[in-house]
């Protein structure tokens, strides 16, 4: 027996309302569902209602819930060594770093561990600034990089508004997104060329000698699963090379099987200077993130101290779980599975769904990373809800989410989109079940068209 009390659902809810301060929420307006247990691709509330998870929580439970090998690895590590400060060397951190470095592209062979994605981006930017001796950073409008001071300043979407003015030196750019092209392009190739020209123009007018980094999400996540056109990431790489700018690929959401690769950028054969990761590295069983660092940038800090650190970075439990998670990915073919289920099931089913529903303006994605963009008017592409920080709480989206939940599907709804982001291990059958529910629930969205 442990010291942990057994609480009823009512008590969990009561204490939550009395004492928990929630993120991204108006405290009095939310009604969080008490969850009792989870397994595989489903979780269950205290009344025994089961939900098929099409959200992977915050797109992080890539391996599914309560994977026995992952649970066992954490138990083994906690019994052996529950905590250690980062200044020591220790087995599971060494091994996690080796495994990540070997799976990362090119010469990215050192890992700076953090506790999550925002801290990873903070440190990537710090590395880029010290490495180049420059201060500016180009960051996309359609992006989310985290909620700490620097990361929210890098973020381009409305979540940054309440934290402005942010960090000096952030310059915004438009990344490619053909459906809502900032460049009035009509083909992927045109969108790609114009987006790259726009970046080149920005670099020229801002002054290349002032720009430390360009940061991007290899595949943009919560801003709508925006898959870059072929040639875009290679084009950004070229611009960075030409001007000595550090290329930071934020793979916090897109990495670790979500896009059917270890890192999404590998699909385009591009090697950035820094990759940030978190979420899928260990499916959030213990908080973990990090920066994978190129040899060149690592060498900047060979004889000068790196000016940053975190008490819990590279925590033994987190590193042990990352090691186990990567081994499971390989033994169970999780990356290949994610790619295949996307190609053979999710993509084709979503294409059929899109044809049936006038509210679906576009579907986009790959592997287990998809979005349906919902519109009020398919001819004008007017979004189903306005573009602002609370779009997902607006009536049509809240009604869609409720319709999914009533039918046992937990959706990922954000602004005018619903994302299809189940655990990467979802079976074909479960994927079809969830998509059939989504198909039915979308009639609610259609009623607003
Ligand atoms: N970067 C991206 C692309 C993300 O999607 C997120 C979180 O959703 C973050 C960074 C921030 O990660 P964390 O919430 O672990 O700080």
pLDDT digits (tens, 9 = 90+) for 1-32: 789 999 999 999 999 999 999 999 999 999 99
Find the 149 Cα to ligand 1 centroid distance in Å: 13
- Compute the average pLDDT of residues 283-299: 98
Instruction: Please give all residues whose beta carbon lies within 6 A of any atom in ligand 1, as ranges.
Output: 58, 116-118, 121, 144-146, 217, 221-222, 250, 252-253, 278, 289
Average pLDDT over residues 240-248: 98
Per residue in 37-58, pLDDT (tens digit) is: 999 999 999 999 999 999 999 9
Mean pLDDT of 100-107: 98
The mean of the pLDDT values for the chain is: 97
Its ipTM equals: 0.99
Report whether pLDDT(91) > 90. yes
CA of 284 to the centre of ligand 1 (A): 12
Q: How far is the CA of 55 from the centre of ligand 1 (A)?
A: 14
- Omega of the bond prior to 70 within 30 degrees of 0, cis? no
**What are the residue boundaries of the structural domains of the chain, listed by start?**
9-66+333-447, 69-332
Q: How far apart are CA 232 and CA 212, in angstroms?
A: 20
pLDDT band at 391 (very low <50, low <70, confident <90, very high): low
pLDDT score recorded for residue 387: 81
- Interior CA angle at 207 toward 203 and 209, to 5°? 110
Pocket test for ligand 1, best of 144, 157, 258 (most atoms within 8 A of CB): 144
Determine the Cα–Cα distance for residues 193 and 197; give it in Å rounded to an integer.
Answer: 6
CB-CB contact of 173 with 198 (8 Å)? yes
- How confident is the model at residue 2, as a pLDDT? 87
Q: Which residues contact 220 (CB under 8 A, 6 or more apart)?
A: 140, 142, 143, 175, 177, 226
Which residue's CA lies nearest to atom 10 of ligand 1?
A: 145
N-terminal to C-terminal alpha carbon distance within the chain: 56
The pLDDT of residue 427:
98
Ligand 1 center to 236 CA (angstroms): 22
Q: Which of the listed residues 23, 219, 221, 282 should we mutate to test ligand 1's pocket, taking the one with most ligand atoms within 8 A of CB? A: 221
97 exposed, middle or buried (CB, 10 Å; 0-12, 13-18, 19+)? buried
In this prediction, residue 386 has a pLDDT band, given cuts at 50, 70 and 90, of confident
Q: CA–CA separation, 42 vs 47, rounded Å?
A: 14
- pLDDT for the residue numbered 389: 65
Substitution site in 114, 147, 226, 252 for ligand 1 pocket (most atoms within 8 Å of beta carbon): 252
Residues shown for the chain: 449
- pLDDT band, very low/low/confident/very high, at 388 (cuts 50, 70, 90): confident
Ligand 1: residue whose CA is nearest its atom 13: 117
Q: Please state, in angstroms and rounded to a whole number, the distance separating the CA atoms of residues 102 and 259.
A: 18
Region 348-358: mean pLDDT is 98
Q: Which residue of 253, 280, 369, 371 sits with most ligand 1 atoms within 8 Å of its CB, as the best mutation to test the pocket?
A: 253
**What pLDDT does residue 223 have?**
97
Tell me: pLDDT of 146 over 80.
yes
Q: Ligand 1 center to residue 119 CA distance, Å?
A: 9
Pick the CATH number of 69-332 from 3.40.640.10, 3.40.50.300, 2.60.120.10, 3.30.1330.10: 3.40.640.10
Rounded Cα distance between 223 and 219, Å, is 10
Residue 390 has pLDDT above 80, yes or no: no
State mean pLDDT over 145-151. Answer: 98
What is the third-level CATH fold of 9-66+333-447?
3.90.1150
The 3-state DSSP composition of the chain as helix, strand, coil percent (nearest 5) reads 45, 20, 40
Distance 375 CA to ligand 1 centre (A): 26
CA of 164 to the centre of ligand 1 (A): 19
pLDDT at 279 over 70: yes
What's the rounded mean pLDDT across residues 228-256? Answer: 98
CA distance 83 to 104: 27
- Atom number in ligand 1 closest to CA 278: 15
User: What integer pLDDT is reported at residue 19 of this predicted model?
Assistant: 97
């Amino acid at each position: 027996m442990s010291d942990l009390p057994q609480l009823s659902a009512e008590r969990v809810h009561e204490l939550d309302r009395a004492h928990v301060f929630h993120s991204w929420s108006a405290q009095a307006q939310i009604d969080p569902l008490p969850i009792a247990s989870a397994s595989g691709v489903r979780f269950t509330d205290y009344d025994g209602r089961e939900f098929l998870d099409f959200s992977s929580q915050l797109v992080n439970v890539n391996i599914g819930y309560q994977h026995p090998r992952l649970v066992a690895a954490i138990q083994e590590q906690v019994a052996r060594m529950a905590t250690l400060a980062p200044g020591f060397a220790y087995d599971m951190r060494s091994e996690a770093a080796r495994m990540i470095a070997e799976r990362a592209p090119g010469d990215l062979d050192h890992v700076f561990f953090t506790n999550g994605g925002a801290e990873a981006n903070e440190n990537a930017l710090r590395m880029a600034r010290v490495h180049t001796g420059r201060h500016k950073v180009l960051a996309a409008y359609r992006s989310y990089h985290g909620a700490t001071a620097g990361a929210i300043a890098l973020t381009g979407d409305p979540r940054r508004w309440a934290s402005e003015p942010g960090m000096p030196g952030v310059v915004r750019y438009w990344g490619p997104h053909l459906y809502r092209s900032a460049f009035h392009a009509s083909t992927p190739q045109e969108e790609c060329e114009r987006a790259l020209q726009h970046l080149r123009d920005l670099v020229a007018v801002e002054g290349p000698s002032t720009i430390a980094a360009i940061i991007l999400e290899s595949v943009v996540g919560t801003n709508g699963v925006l898959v870059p056109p072929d040639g875009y990431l290679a084009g950004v790489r070229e611009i960075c090379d030409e001007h000595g700018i550090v290329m930071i690929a934020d793979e916090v959401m897109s990495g670790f099987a979500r896009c059917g690769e270890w890192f999404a950028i590998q699909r385009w054969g591009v090697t950035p200077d820094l990759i940030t990761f978190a979420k899928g590295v260990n499916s959030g069983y213990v908080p973990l993130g990090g920066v994978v660092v190129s040899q060149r940038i690592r060498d900047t800090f060979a004889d000068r101290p790196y000016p940053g650190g975190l008490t819990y970075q590279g925590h033994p439990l987190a590193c042990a779980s990352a090691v186990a998670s990567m081994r499971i990915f390989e033994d169970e073919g999780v990356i290949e599975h994610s790619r295949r289920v996307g190609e053979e099931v999710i993509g084709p089913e979503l294409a059929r769904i899109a044809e049936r529903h006038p509210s679906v303006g576009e579907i986009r994605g790959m592997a287990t990373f998809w979005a349906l963009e919902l519109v009020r008017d398919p001819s004008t592409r007017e979004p189903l809800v306005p573009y602002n920080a609370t779009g997902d709480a607006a009536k049509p989206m809240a009604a869609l989410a409720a319709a999914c939940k009533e039918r046992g599907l937990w959706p990922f709804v954000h602004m005018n989109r619903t994302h299809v982001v189940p655990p990467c291990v979802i079976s074909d059958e479960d994927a079809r079940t969830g998509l059939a529910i989504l198909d039915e629930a979308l009639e609610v969205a259609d009623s607003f068209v």
